[in-house]
Structure 1
Amino acid sequence: MRLARVRGLRARLVVVFVLLAGLAALTAAGLVYRQARDLMLARTESSLVNEFRLRVATLTENMRHPPDRAALQRLANGVAPAFLSATGAAVYRDSGLIASGDRTGPITSALRQGIATRQRLQYQRVISGGTPYLVVGTPVLLGSRRTPSDVQVYLVTPLDTEAADQDALLAAALNGVLPVLALAVLLALLAAGGVLRPVRDLDRAARRLGAGELDTRLKVSGGDELARLVTTFNATAAALEANVSELREMEVRARRFVADVSHELRTPLASILAMAEMFEEEAGRLEGDLAGAARLLNLEVGRLVRLVEDLMEISRFDAGAARLVLNDVDVADAIRACLRTRGWYGRAELDLPAGVRIRMDPRRFDVIVANLVGNALRHGAPPVTVRLGGDDQRAVIEVRDAGVGVDPGLLPHVFDRFSKADAARVRSDGSGLGLAIALENARLHGGSIDVANPPGGGALFTLTLPVAGPR
């Protein structure tokens, strides 16, 4: 998932680089095209306008005021031939057309109105029938005094050549953008790779660190933000490695201490238990409170002995010293034997079909069943049922009581060691370790234990073990 996000970020960076490069290339090409086009048109317009002004001045130099129609016709006929590309010329007096050449349609009323109002030469670009034209017009001023004659002269010139040149220029600009974009993609890939390589390295390092490789470090290069981030990562990884190492050492020392204390207590407790049993046997001969004290002493010493035995068993699991002695066992017979040994056979309802055999350690299976059934008998409510089921792959043993069940908020902590949040449900034999030991034994067999509050009340513990034994 992280790798997919890094790849997505790389793709987004490439797209951003390409878009920026493309925008820059298009902008540059557009500016070049616009400048070249404007320069081309300005040069053409300037040349035509100057030539038109000189031609009109030459033709009207000796024209009398007011000019007659023949003079105006000669003026119209004399303007257009001077320009090879011109398609027509026109002469207007007042508001009427006096004479014209081949094509005068592009002459607009707005241009004529502007010339009549300002009394000076003007021009405009016009598109007529899909063809661009340059239309130039000027008022005719006669004599040395430049007397207005109410006559206007116009020249219509197509801009086909200029339009073709503009199209060629635009095509060249667009063709120039393509290699720029290709180069931009290449540079974007290189830049994105350079930017994201440290990110990918950080991602892989973080995953290795999360997987427990606490000695993971990255090489610091450069002095930018990413380099500072790598430095921070290395410092964090070093601090984490030191803290975890310290915690592991503390855990090892704590487990060793528990194992050593349990072992050291075992021998004197055995002697104390023997003496307590002797005192309980003589309780009938004791007077007053001594008899009750003798029985209580034997009970509490027995609990202490069981706690020490449970601590030693837990320490074996923690040290990885617990081993299985596997046999082919009939599950129903093993459950009945467990209940008979502890005097519980008549206190539980059994549904144990015959013929279910699995490979398991009988002693450890006995511990599991004893903890589950004993927990239900002591802290649940009757009836307590033990049901055997499963298939060719697994055996399933269900132990259920009819009590109030387990607080839903405590269900995830039922198998925690020394869990006493609900002493009526999670303690076994008073040590708080019984269910934890049962779960460890189940896991050692490759199985599991689950707990739930089923409909109808009570608590349901489900032991699942593989038929073929642990792998």
Structure 2
Amino acid sequence: MSGPLWPRGLRSRLLVAFVVVTVLGAVVAAWSGAGTAGAALVASSEQRLTEALTGQIGAVTPGLAYPPDQGALERLRSAAGANTLVTYGSLRSADGVAADLVPDSLRTAVRTGNRMVTQRTTGGGEPWLLIGTPVMITAPDGARTPSGIEVYAARDLAGVEREIAGMARSAVVTAALTLPLAVLLALLAAGSVLRPVRDLRDTARRLAAGDLGARSNPRGADELADLTATVNEMAGSLQESMAALRRMQADARRFAADVSHELRTPLSTLTAVVEVLSMSADGMEPDARESAQLAITETRRLVTLVEELMEVSRFDAGTARLRVEDLDVAGAVRDCLRARGWSHRVELVAPGAVPARLDRRRVDVVVANLVGNALRHGEPPVRVVVAASGGEVLVEVTDSGPGLPEHVLPHVFDRFYKADAARTRTPDSGLGLALALENARLHGGDVEAGNRTGARGARFVLRLPRESGDR
């Protein structure tokens, strides 16, 4: 059941349901009791009136002569009381409303059945009980035969109806008096039922807020207590799992940081050797030169990976800090492209100087990662647009490649994520975009990933505040 008028809260629904059921039960019980009492009162009144009429007739009939004359009928009618009709063949004696109220069907039932017949009817807006009975002649041997005299009496039931109406009113009053009691009982019942539910709600909120030690105390041995115990078990299992996960994450971060740190010294030595090898590679035999170039490429790739791992470990440890300075963002982007030899491959659109206070090194890292990603995975032309919008600096990087598939979009900033799992030997470590996002957020900015509207290609937008405080 639902609708605009039906209460939405569980407490309100319990109150309404409890009150409705209680009041309906009281109404049904009171009304049923009133109906039963009314029926019993009518039956009792009918029995009393028929017995009274029988006694009145029996007091006169022994002195009547048969066949009776008009005078005998008059005496019998007078003995039966007001509103009585007495007939014998064509003779009749009537008083009051009886002659008008007695229907032919009642007369036929009395005449053919030779027994007393009663019928309730309404006349003049009042309820009446019609009683029809034949007068029987008892022979010395006890045999009873009809005398042909018929007595019809109309008895007023208005008093009985008033008593029944009074009982109905009493039933309504009784049902009405149950309403405040039902509301009180509903409040008590709802409070006792909803208290454990509120406790569970509060516990769930604390768990959702990160307090994994939140628990509820089970009360009683009902279904709510079982539910509370189950929630506590679930919270305990979740707490243990999260603790284990945090330990594993801490171990993994510590391992990456330790390995990166330990690799710096041997990699520095190896880099120096590789640089010497690079200078002398031109004089080598073709096979040796190819092997040397491969060693140089892989060594540089390894150095880049270690540097990125160390940067990631600083973000994870919370030790990464900004060193802000007055910066022309357009000039910084231009320097980034020139330093990496990308100036002839990338179109830069900048309206002029775009001043801001940012960390130059970290802005360079973000732009290099976004442009490098476009050059590796997109298609030319690659365009970088630098603009200022209010208190923000926007750097938009677009390419003309196939764009980002829908299943890739949610994961482009995940660490070590590669859209094509088969491309494991690319220079891209899978950390570039993750580091770009971390550096942007360290400034209080963000990086958005998507596809160009109305054209092919991916679109990345770097948003940075023009005033980044030291962090």
TM-score (norm 1): 0.92
In the other structure, the counterpart of 2:455 is 456
Instruction: Answer yes or no: is the 8 Å Cα contact 1:61–1:143 preserved in 2.
Output: no
Counterpart in 2 of 1:122?
A: 117
Identify the range of structure 1 (226-235 vs 432-441) with the bigger mean alpha-carbon deviation.
226-235
Aligned CA distance change for structure 1 residues 196 and 328 (closer, same or farther; 3 Å): same
Q: Is 1:193 equivalent to 2:187 in the alignment?
A: no
Distance verdict in 2 for CA 1:110–1:19, change over 3 Å? farther
Q: Which residue of 1 aligns with 2:3?
A: none
CA distance in 1, matches of 2:426, 2:329: 23
Partner of 2:33: 32
Per-residue deviation at 1:433? 0.8
Residue 93 (structure 2) aligns with: 99
> Contact 1:426–1:435 (CA<8 Å) still a contact in 2?
no
List aligned pairs for 1:271-420, cutoff 5 A: 271-420=269-418
Q: Tell me which residue corresponds to 1:16.
A: 17
Letter of the 1:301 partner, please give it: T
Structure 1 residue 327: deviation in Å?
2.0
- Call closer, same or farther: CA 1:265–1:449 in 2, change over 3 Å: same
Alignment gaps of 5+ in structure 1: 81-85
How many residues in Structure 1 have an aligned counterpart in Structure 2? 460
Do the aligned residues in 2 keep the contact of 1:380 with 1:425 (CA within 8 Å)?
A: no
Q: 1:75 to 1:309 in 2, by over 3 A?
A: same
Whole-angstrom distance in 2 between the partners of 1:453 and 1:327: 33
SS at match of 1:61: helix
| Residue of 243, 246, 258 corresponding to 1:245 | 243
Instruction: Show CA shifts across 1:100-129 (max 9, x none).
Output: 111123323332222122211122222223
Instruction: Give, in angstroms, the shift of residue 28 of structure 1.
Output: 2.3
Deviation at 1:266, TM superposition (A): 0.8
Cα distance change of structure 1 residues 109 and 168 upon mapping to structure 2, 3 Å threshold? same
Change in Cα spacing, 1:19 to 1:438, as seen in structure 2 (3 Å) is same
- For 1:246 and 1:106, the matched residues in 2 are separated by 96
% identical aligned pairs: 47
User: Is 1:416–1:436's contact at 8 Å kept on the other side of the alignment?
Assistant: yes
- 2:107 is the alignment partner of 1:112: yes
Q: 1:426 Cα deviation (Å)?
A: 11
| Aligned-pair CA distance for 1:390 | 4.1
Listed one character per residue, the Cα deviations across residues 189-215 of structure 1 (whole Å, up to 9, x for unaligned) are 110111111111112211211221100
Find the aligned partners of 2:424 and 2:106 in 1 and give their Cα distance.
102
Give the 3-state SS of the residue equivalent to 2:439 in structure 1. Answer: helix
| Alpha-carbon separation, structure 1, partners of 2:422 and 2:382 | 15
Residues 70, 91 of structure 2: 8 Å contact kept: no
Comparing 256-265 with 372-381, greater Cα deviation is found at: 372-381
Q: 1:377 and 1:421, CA in 2 relative to 1: closer, same or farther beyond 3 A? A: closer
Taking the aligned partners of 2:431 and 2:7, their CA distance within structure 1 comes to 47
1:51 aligns to what?
52
Measure the CA separation in 2 of the matches of 1:321 and 1:92.
121
Quick one: which amino acid aligns to residue 393 of structure 1?
Answer: G
Question: What SS does structure 1 have at the residue aligned with 2:131?
Answer: strand
Q: What residue in structure 2 maps to residue 422 of structure 1?
A: 420
Distance in structure 1 (CA, Å) of the matches to 2:365 and 2:8: 53
Contact 1:426 1:432 in 2 (8 A): no
Residues 151-190 of structure 1: matches in 2 within 5 Å?
151-190=149-188
> Which letter maps to 2:92?
I
**Aligned equivalents of 1:335, 1:93: Cα separation in 2:** 130
Contact 2:331 2:353 in 1 (8 A): no
Instruction: Describe the shift of the 1:427–1:26 C-alpha distance in structure 2 as closer, same or farther (beyond 3 A).
Output: farther
* Cα drift, residue 187 of structure 1: 0.4
Q: List alignment gaps of at least 5 residues for structure 2.
A: 1-5
TM-score under structure 2 normalisation?
0.92
Shift of 1:356: 2.6
